[in-house]
Amino acid sequence: MSDEQLGYEQARDELADVVAKLEAGGLSLEDSLALWERGEALAKICDRHLAGARERVEAALAAADKEPES
């Protein structure tokens, strides 16, 4: 599955795994760097999903504000 196809939950879970591996230590510098880079990419994916969700909520709230009261 490409990064473009990762859902928020999948990206978040993989990011949590990456963080756990980095925190556990014992990795070579190259492995640590590769994991850090992957973590950065996953964080950006999560940010994009959250921004999209935020926009949807704001649009729904704006639409609700425009509805006439009965």
pLDDT tens digits, one per residue of 18-50: 999 999 999 999 999 999 999 999 999 999 999
> For residue 29, what is the domain's CATH number?
1.10.287
List the Cα angle 29/14/17 in 5-degree steps. 55
Cα-Cα-Cα-Cα dihedral sign, residues 20, 24, 30, 33: positive
Please tell me the pTM assigned to this model: 0.82
Helix and strand counts by DSSP (H, E) for the chain: 2, 0
What percentage of the chain carries pLDDT values higher than 70?
Answer: 99
- CA 56 from centre of chain: 16
User: Token pair 């994991």 is at which residue?
Assistant: 35
Domain residues for the domain of 10 are 3-66
Q: How many structural domains compose the chain? A: 1
